[in-house]
């Protein structure tokens, strides 16, 4: 085998481990993401998984990074070309709502699932989660300001609250009306003067 093929295969294997890690962590949290669990799930040895990361924290950081990339791809990119202002803010909210209620990843919104696990824990994993959440907050705030809504900070705060409530109602309580209620709340929030 040529070294290029070996490097390419290693990258592909690493990417597969991280992709599966996002799915596992969305359901079981980042602490549930163990080298042994991933090895068993993927039919690999523990040393084979560990060799790609070195330690659990590096694995967790790679998973957070991929989850952030996927969030942007799934939530922002489909609506990025929408007319700036209130139409785009509404489109972003709708896209976020669909993401929260989807099964991709299987535990729903990755950051809503893992955020509480690390919110008060100092360290690089918390910083990565907070960084991704902060980037999203800044983008929402930018969109709210572009839409010229009254009190953009309050609108973003309330919009985030609706999504957190939706996540809990949909995932924990299995409320079949959760998405409809959240959509109504978002419409009220973004239609008020």
Whether 5 has a pLDDT exceeding 80, the answer reads no
Residue range 19-77, pLDDT digits in tens: 999 999 999 999 988 899 999 999 999 999 999 998 999 999 999 999 999 999 999 99
Identify whether the C-beta of residue 133 lies closer than 8 Å to the C-beta of residue 115. Answer: yes
Please provide the CATH number assigned to the domain covering 3-191: 1.10.357.10
Q: Using N-to-C axis directions, what is the helix angle for 124-146 and 56-71, rounded to 10°?
A: 10
CA distance 175 to 172: 8
Identify whether the C-beta of residue 89 lies closer than 8 Å to the C-beta of residue 143. Answer: yes
Identify whether the C-beta of residue 170 lies closer than 8 Å to the C-beta of residue 100. Answer: yes
Residue 108's pLDDT band (boundaries 50, 70, 90)? Answer: confident
**Helix extents (H) in the chain:** 3-28, 35-42, 46-53, 56-71, 86-101, 110-118, 124-146, 152-167, 178-191
Is the model's pTM score more than 0.75?
A: yes
Mean pLDDT, rounded, for 85-107: 93
Residue 163's pLDDT band (boundaries 50, 70, 90)? Answer: very high
Whether 88 has a pLDDT exceeding 50, the answer reads yes
The pLDDT score that the predictor gives to residue 1 is 45
Closest CA to 134 of 68, 57, 73, 75: 68
Whether 4 has a pLDDT exceeding 90, the answer reads no
Whether 86 has a pLDDT exceeding 60, the answer reads yes
The pLDDT score that the predictor gives to residue 107 is 87
Closest CA to 145 of 78, 77, 86, 75: 86
Residue 138's pLDDT band (boundaries 50, 70, 90)? Answer: very high
- Residue 94, phi-psi category: left (phi > 0), alpha (psi -120 to 50), beta (remainder): alpha
The pLDDT score that the predictor gives to residue 9 is 87
Higher pLDDT, 1 or 133: 133
φ, ψ of residue 35 in degrees (nearest 5): -60, -45
Would you list the domain boundaries of the chain? Answer: 3-191
- Chain centroid to Cα 153, Å, comes to 21
The pLDDT score that the predictor gives to residue 3 is 52
């Amino acid at each position: 085998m040529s070294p290029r093929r070996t490097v390419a295969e290693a990258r592909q294997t690493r990417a597969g481990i991280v992709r599966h890690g996002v799915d596992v962590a969305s359901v079981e949290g980042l602490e549930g993401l163990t080298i042994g669990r991933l090895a068993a799930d993927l039919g690999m040895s523990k040393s084979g998984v560990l060799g790609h990361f070195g330690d659990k924290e590096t694995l967790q950081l790679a998973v957070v990074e991929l989850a952030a990339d996927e969030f942007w791809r799934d939530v922002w990119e489909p609506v990025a070309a929408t007319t700036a202002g209130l139409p785009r803010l509404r489109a972003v909210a709708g896209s976020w709502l669909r993401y929260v209620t989807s099964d991709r990843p299987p535990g729903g919104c990755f950051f809503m699932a893992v955020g509480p696990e690390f919110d008060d824990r100092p360290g690089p994993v918390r910083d990565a989660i907070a960084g991704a959440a902060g980037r999203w907050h800044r983008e929402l705030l930018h969109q709210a300001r572009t839409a010229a809504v009254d009190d953009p900070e309050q609108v973003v705060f309330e919009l985030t609250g609706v999504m957190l409530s939706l996540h809990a109602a949909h995932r924990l309580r299995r409320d079949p009306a959760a998405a409809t209620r959240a959509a109504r709340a978002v419409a009220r929030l973004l239609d008020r003067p």
